[in-house]
């Protein structure tokens, strides 16, 4: 079989992906080495409403993409699909044996105020090349086979003080629980000392969560998802990966609630609902909705320009001044309620998917065996907290603790609160950029 090429023209498609990532996704889809070339034939950027500036170029993909920005015709606002299903939709490719016929997909709505004609030249290498550079196989149980392996960073943060909820050795137990889960599923883990992330005007420490999230994207430039978990959460189902649970199209469809009333903080109907539908490739934020509305103690955020914008908006001085009851949680609720662009890129799961509560807690639905995690929100300094924590610690699924995790806990080298703001960032990292 000779090398085959197919050319796909995409115009103004939302989402961003680099050619090397697209090659990886194509290789997974077709089971062979793939070569992707990207050229921009035409690009229009609207410098002012209705006044496009046109550039012609065949320059290759640039290392950094900018939102609807072209500087002197050099930096290209290239917009490519965020998943292989968008890049080569079923309707766009016909397969007959080893032959694949390219059909240009329909144009989707433009992202931002720009449009581009993008040519993807996809080369399916000859059979001989497959043997020279085979796609790496793994056992069905291996985390490396899942699309989210290496693409998730779990983020924990605490203030550097000695105790929490009065639970003996709680930080060590949380470390064991999360590092064991991360090791099993191929995720990264970051534990920040949140007291080093203070904002510039003495804002309450609750708001430090936002700069921690911003820096997580910078510290782990290869991850797609940042998964924030408050420290008062136990992962109870270690067999269930995030991909199978909520990140895959099937998992998301199984857990997302549509056209459902959202409760307000404190309980009771808010008068506004979750959207009636969602586009899987456009989901950038995932959070549970339940008895007391949305709780940002446990949520997932995808790397995107939208996420960079949202994190910047989230710590607007107006929000910090206005919201003092459930500070950063109320800020999030305000953005979701009043900004359609926030709702467009956010999905709400059922309560138990991401934020199940212990049986004593009246904030929402209670944890059931098999649930992914349990959240001790509101336990505070209650004298019963240690016993309640111990009860669910025993109820969690039994799992193997990696030898390295045991060793670090034993010799005091466990990475607990070891991350401090701005220290040890990757060389050349842009400290203000979520997306490179």
Task: Look at residue 281 in the predicted model and tell me its pLDDT.
Answer: 94
| pLDDT for the residue numbered 427 | 75
Alpha helices in 186-274 (DSSP H): 209-219, 242, 249-255
User: Using an 8 Å Cβ cutoff, are 415 and 174 in contact?
Assistant: no
Question: Interior CA angle at 162 toward 158 and 164, to 5°?
Answer: 60
> How far apart (Å, rounded) are the C-alpha atoms in residues 373 and 148?
19
Please list the ranges in the chain whose pLDDT falls under 50.
1-17, 39-142, 144
Residue 351 CB partners (closer than 8 Å, separation 6+): 288, 289, 290, 291, 357, 364, 365
pLDDT of residue 126: 35
Half-sphere exposure at residue 165, Cβ-oriented, CA atoms within 13 angstroms: 24
- Note the pLDDT of residue 252: 96
Using CA atoms, how far apart are residues 316 and 201, in angstroms rounded to an integer?
Answer: 12
Q: What DSSP line would sit under 46-58, residue for residue?
A: EEETTEEEEEE--
Measured over the CA atoms of residue 265, residue 269, residue 274 and residue 275, the dihedral's sign is negative
Alpha carbon distances (Å) from 281 to 247, 252, 255, 408: 11, 11, 16, 39
Kindly report the number of other CB atoms within 10 A of residue 150's CB atom. Answer: 17
pLDDT digits (tens, 9 = 90+) for 317-356: 888 888 777 778 888 888 999 999 999 999 999 999 999 9
CA distances from 16 to 5, 86, 175, 294 (A): 23, 11, 34, 28
pTM reported for the whole predicted model: 0.67
What's the pLDDT score for residue 205? 84
Tell me what pLDDT residue 116 has: 39
Rounded to an integer, what distance in angstroms lies between the CA atom of residue 176 and that of residue 404? Answer: 10
d(CA 60, CA 126): 24
Tokens 């949202």 identify what position? 310
User: What is the DSSP code (8-state) at residue 136?
Assistant: P
Three-class SS of residue 282?
helix
* Strand locations in 74-170 (E): 93-96, 99-102, 114-124, 152-158
3-state secondary structure of 281: helix
């Amino acid at each position: 079989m000779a090398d085959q090429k197919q050319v796909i023209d995409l115009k103004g498609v939302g989402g961003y992906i680099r050619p090397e990532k697209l090659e990886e996704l194509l290789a997974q889809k077709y089971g062979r080495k793939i070569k992707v070339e990207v050229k921009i034939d035409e690009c229009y950027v609207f410098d002012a409403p209705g006044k496009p500036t046109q550039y012609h170029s065949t320059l290759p993909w640039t290392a950094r993409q900018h939102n609807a920005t072209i500087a002197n015709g050099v930096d290209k606002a290239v917009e490519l699909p965020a998943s292989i299903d968008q890049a080569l939709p079923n309707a766009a490719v016909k397969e007959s044996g080893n032959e694949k016929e390219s059909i240009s997909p329909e144009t989707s709505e433009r992202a931002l105020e720009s449009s581009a004609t993008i040519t993807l030249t996809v080369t399916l290498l000859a059979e001989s090349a497959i043997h020279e550079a085979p796609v790496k196989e793994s056992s069905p149980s291996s985390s490396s086979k899942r699309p989210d392996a290496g693409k998730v960073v779990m983020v924990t943060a605490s203030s550097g003080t000695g105790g929490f909820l009065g639970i003996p050795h709680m930080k060590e137990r949380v470390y064991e629980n999360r590092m064991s889960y991360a090791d099993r599923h191929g995720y990264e883990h970051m534990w920040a000392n949140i007291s080093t992330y203070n904002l510039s005007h003495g804002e309450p420490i609750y708001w430090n969560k936002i700069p921690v999230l911003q820096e997580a994207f910078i510290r782990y430039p290869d991850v797609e998802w940042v998964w924030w978990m408050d420290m008062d959460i136990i992962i109870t189902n270690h067999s269930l990966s995030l991909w199978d649970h909520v990140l895959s199209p099937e998992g998301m469809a199984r857990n997302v609630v549509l056209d459902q009333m959202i409760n307000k903080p404190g309980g009771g109907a808010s008068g506004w609902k979750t959207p009636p539908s969602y586009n899987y490739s456009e989901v950038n934020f995932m959070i549970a909705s339940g008895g007391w509305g949305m709780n940002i103690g446990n949520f997932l955020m995808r790397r995107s320009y939208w996420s960079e914008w949202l994190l910047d908006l989230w710590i607007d001085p107006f929000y910090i001044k206005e919201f003092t009851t459930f500070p950063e949680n109320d800020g999030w609720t305000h953005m979701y309620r009043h900004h359609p662009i926030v709702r467009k890129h956010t999905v709400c799961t059922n309560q138990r998917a991401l934020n199940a509560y212990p049986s004593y807690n009246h904030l929402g639905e209670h944890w059931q065996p098999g649930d992914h995690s349990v959240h001790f929100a509101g336990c505070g300094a209650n004298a019963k907290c240690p016993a309640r924590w111990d009860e669910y610690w025993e109820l969690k699924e039994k799992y193997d603790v990696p030898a390295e995790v045991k060793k670090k806990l034993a010799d005091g080298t466990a990475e607990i609160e070891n991350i401090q703001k701005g220290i040890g960032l990757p060389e050349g990292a842009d400290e203000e950029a979520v997306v490179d």
